[in-house]
Amino acid sequence: MIIKKITLINFRNHKEYQLDCNKDTTLILGPNGSGKTSVLEAIYILTRGKSFRAVDSEILKRDADFYRIELEYDNGEKSIATFDGENKNFFILDKKVRRLPKKNKYPLILFVPSDLNLITHSPSRRRDYFDKFFSQLDESYNQSLLRYEKALKQRNELLKNDSSTENIFSWNLLLAKYGISLTNYRQKFVDEINSELTKTYRSIAKNEDQVIINYVSEATDFTESKYLKKLEVNYEKDHLLGHTSFGVHRDDYVFLFNEKEANGSASRGETRSIILALKFIEAKLIFEKLHLKPIILLDDVFSELDNSRRRSLIDNFKDNQVIITSVEAL
C-alpha cells in the first residue's frame, strides 16, 4: 500500500492541511511546534486505528467541533476518520464503522526520538513498545493483550471494593489464560529477534560486539494452573495494595551488551546502533510474516543520528515508503 495524499481538517493545530506523498521518500520540513508529528499521527490513526500518543479529545483542534483525516492511496481508494467530540468513525470504501477493521489495518514502523532511549526507559515503556511491535506481527497477540488488560482492570476494581475471592475467581481464570498466552508469544518473538539482533547490529556498528534481549517474566515456565494458584495465594496482599501484584503486566525486556546490561555498559552511539538494529528487524519480521512492506514513519530522528547511522537507516528502508519529519533539510 502506498499513500498518495493526506488531508487534515481541525487536527491538532492544523485547520486545513494537505500533503502529496512520493512513492519512496517524503520529507516534511518545519520548525518545532509546527505540527509535523501530527501528520504522522494522522497516518497512524488511519492505518492502526488509534493514535500513538493521545486520545481523540486531545487531538481535536481547540474551539473546533470535529476533526477529519483522509488518506488517498495510489490505487485510488480512500480511508477517512472523523471525530465529532464524542464519537470517532471510520469510512472505508464508503462504509461507516466505529473501529478500523482488521483487514484495513496496515503495518507501520514508527521511529520517534524517545525510542533511542528505550534501553534506559522504564519497564512499562519497553512493554508498550514491544506490545505494539508484537501486535502487528500477530493479531492473536493483540487479542490476548486486550483481553488480559480488560481482566486486569476488572480484577483491580474489585480489589479496591472489598470484593470476595468468589467474585474475583472468574477474572483470575482469564488472567491465567491470557497471561500464559502472552508469555508464550513474547518468548517466541524475542527468540526470533535475538536470532537476528547481533548480526544486524554488527552490520551497523562494524564490530564484533554481541547484543541480545533477555525477556524477564514472573510467569516463565508457568502453566495456567500455576498462574491461577499464584493469583489466589496473593489475594490478601493484593487486596491490601488495591491492585494485582503478580502477572505479565510486570514483564520486562533487558538488553544485554557483551553479556552485561546495556543500560550502563553501552555507549550512546552503541545504544543508537542497537535501536536501529531493532527497527530493521521489526520491518524484516513484518514482511516475513505478513508479506507486506511496512510504511516507515521517521519523526525527527535524523538529528539524533550521525552520518553513518543515517546512511544505514536510508539503505535499510530504501524499498519502503518512508515519510520523514525534520527541522532542517537532509
| Cβ atoms < 10 Å from Cβ of 196 | 15
164 and 204 in a common domain: yes
Cα 234 from Cα 250, distance rounded (Å): 15
pLDDT given for residue 303 in this prediction: 87
CA–CA separation, 134 vs 131, rounded Å?
Answer: 5
Residues 6+ apart with CB under 8 A from 84: 65, 66
Q: What pLDDT shows up at residue 167?
A: 87
Looking at the structure, tell me whether residues 100 and 10 fall in a common domain: yes
Q: Please give the single-letter amino acid code of residue 154.
A: Q
pLDDT of residue 42: 97
- The residue with cell 527497527 is 279
Q: Is the pLDDT of residue 139 over 80?
A: yes
- Does residue 160 share a domain with residue 101? no
pLDDT the model gives residue 199: 97
**What is the Cα–Cα distance from 183 to 181, expressed in whole angstroms?**
6
The pLDDT of 283-290, averaged and rounded, is: 96
Average pLDDT of the segment spanning 162-170: 83
Is there a single domain that holds both residue 71 and residue 210?
Answer: no
38: CB partners within 8 A, 6+ apart: 8, 11, 12, 13, 14
The residue with greater pLDDT, 173 or 328, is 173
Same domain, 94 and 160: no
Identify whether residues 152 and 44 lie together within a single domain. Answer: no
Both 67 and 156 in one domain: the answer is no
> What is the mean pLDDT of the segment spanning 56-74?
95
Between CA 322 and CA 315 the distance in angstroms is 12
pLDDT of residue 166: 83
The backbone region for 216, taken as left when phi is positive above 0, alpha when psi lies in -120 to 50, beta otherwise, is beta
What per-residue confidence (pLDDT) applies to 294? 96
Quick one: average pLDDT of 29-54?
A: 94
Residue 330 has pLDDT above 80, yes or no: no
**Residue 280 and residue 316 in contact, taking contact as beta carbons nearer than 8 Å:** yes
pLDDT higher than 80, residue 53: yes
Q: Is residue 320 part of a domain?
A: no
Residue ending a domain, among 51, 71, 106, is 106
Domain count, the chain: 2
DSSP three-state, residue 250 = helix
Cα dihedral across residues 259, 262, 267, 270: positive or negative: positive
Which residue range is the domain that position 19 belongs to?
Answer: 3-106
One domain, residues 95 and 72: yes
- Reading the block at residue 179, the C-alpha cell is 497471561
167 plus 20 within the same structural domain: no
How confident is the model over 293-314, as pLDDT tens digits?
A: 999 999 999 888 999 999 999 9
Residue 267, domain CATH: 1.20.1050.90
Q: Is residue 64 part of a domain?
A: yes
Does position 276 have pLDDT exceeding 80, yes or no? yes
* Cα gap 268→122, rounded to integer Å: 17
32 in any annotated domain: yes
User: How many other C-beta atoms lie within 10 A of the C-beta of residue 310?
Assistant: 16
pLDDT of residue 297: 96
* CATH classification at residue 68: 3.40.50.300
Evaluate if pTM is beyond 0.85: yes
